[in-house]
Copies of this chain bind each other. A is one copy, B any other.
Amino acid sequence: MYFYKEDLINMIVPDKPDPSAAKVLQEALGGQFGEMRTMMQYSFQSANFRGKAKQYRDLIRGVFLEELSHVELVQSTINQLLNDAGGNMPGNSGVDGAPLDDVIKGGANPHHFIMGAKASLPVDAGGNPWTGSYVYDHGNLVANLLNNVVLESTGVLQKSRIYEMSSNKSLRETIAFLMVRDNAHQNAFAKALETLGVSWGKIFPVPNYDLNKYPECRKYVDLGYHNAQFNFRLDQTRISEVFQGETPSRNGGQLSVTEPPNGYPVPDMPDMPNEHSPGLSDLNN
């Protein structure tokens, strides 16, 4: 069973609205290598796990639990990027303008405004809906771990490219945090494969990025987040039987299981100033 505290796993840094940034950031939420994929893939791999070596199940499930809060973090960041896009919506109070006309002509995802009320969607940067066929669970531990390494490596590769698509601080802070955490998860699954016989030599990390050159990443590296596994279990876990010792990363260091971050407040999202907003204003006036 799952329990919850209303804390985001990282802060949302405010910046100006940017529907293009929101559009590309969707890849990190509903894309083939985004957080919905990692979350559901590790859900299936841990629930379908067979046999007695449950330290590996605990490891996979441990990452799964963190991905739940990654989903929430990206949803909240996309919402931040959309909050005031298009300015005031006229709604009932006046319908002469067409405030979203320019937004649409500027290449935004129209569904951010038609389906979502300026809100995140379960789709990728191209607007394609997430699909269950992304989930890899073939019930062979080594094959699953190899796929997980590819998944996390591709995740961070994509994020390093998305970083180049926007200088918006809301996008970059979230991307940077996730790059460091993806790196930790690369290390976790690579380490698990090491306990099963692989010696990774010099190929990690993929891509060959230096986290410290991304300014937003450096503080998380200083906190050791790239070699840490946050523990969200309220009971015992055997993660540290696997996630320990020297990191497989070329950056070196020791792996350790730690408490999660203290948590960050969920931003208050304003009601939209018209009756189409999701809140109650349309019912109480």
Residues of chain A touching chain B, judged by Cβ–Cβ distance below 8 Å, are: 1-9, 20, 23-24, 27, 30-32, 36, 40, 43-44, 47-53, 56, 61, 65, 68-69, 71-72, 75-76, 79, 86, 89-101, 103-107, 109-111, 113-133, 135-144, 146-147, 149-150, 153-154, 157-158, 160-167, 193, 196-203, 206-210, 213-215, 232-235, 260, 263, 268-272, 275-283
Cβ of B121 and Cβ of A132 under 8 Å apart? Answer: yes
Cβ of A3 and Cβ of B65 under 8 Å apart? Answer: yes
Chain B residues within an 8 Å CB radius of A283: 141-142, 196-197, 202-203, 208
Chain B residues within an 8 Å CB radius of A20: 101, 104-105
Chain B residues within an 8 Å CB radius of A43: 71-72, 75
**CA distance in complex: A129, B6 (Å):** 31
Cβ of B116 and Cβ of A139 under 8 Å apart? Answer: yes
**CA distance in complex: A202, B193 (Å):** 10
Chain B residues within an 8 Å CB radius of A121: 44, 132, 135, 137
Cβ of B107 and Cβ of A104 under 8 Å apart? Answer: yes
Chain B residues within an 8 Å CB radius of A203: 142, 193, 196-198, 283
CB distance from A74 to the nearest CB of B (A): 9
Interface centre among A130, A203, A281 (most CB of B within 10 A): A203
**CA distance in complex: A109, B105 (Å):** 11
Which of B47, B51, B72, B198 is close to A76, meaning CB atoms less than 8 Å apart? Answer: B47
**CA distance in complex: A89, B76 (Å):** 28
Cβ of B110 and Cβ of A126 under 8 Å apart? Answer: yes
CB distance from A257 to the nearest CB of B (A): 14
Chain B residues within an 8 Å CB radius of A68: 1-2, 68
CB distance from A64 to the nearest CB of B (A): 9
Chain B residues within an 8 Å CB radius of A160: 91, 276
CB nearest to A171 among chain B residues: B98
Interface centre among A139, A146, A202 (most CB of B within 10 A): A139
CB distance from A150 to the nearest CB of B (A): 5
Cβ of A104 and Cβ of B24 under 8 Å apart? Answer: yes
CB distance from A263 to the nearest CB of B (A): 6
CB nearest to A202 among chain B residues: B197
Which of B3, B53, B126, B275 is close to A5, meaning CB atoms less than 8 Å apart? Answer: B3
Which of B99, B142, B210 is close to A92, meaning CB atoms less than 8 Å apart? Answer: B210
Which of B56, B104, B232, B281 is close to A51, meaning CB atoms less than 8 Å apart? Answer: B281
Cβ of A75 and Cβ of B47 under 8 Å apart? Answer: yes
Say whether, besides A164-B90, A165-B100, A47 and B120 are in contact (CB < 8 Å).
yes
Say whether, besides A24-B110, A203-B196, A157 and B140 are in contact (CB < 8 Å).
yes
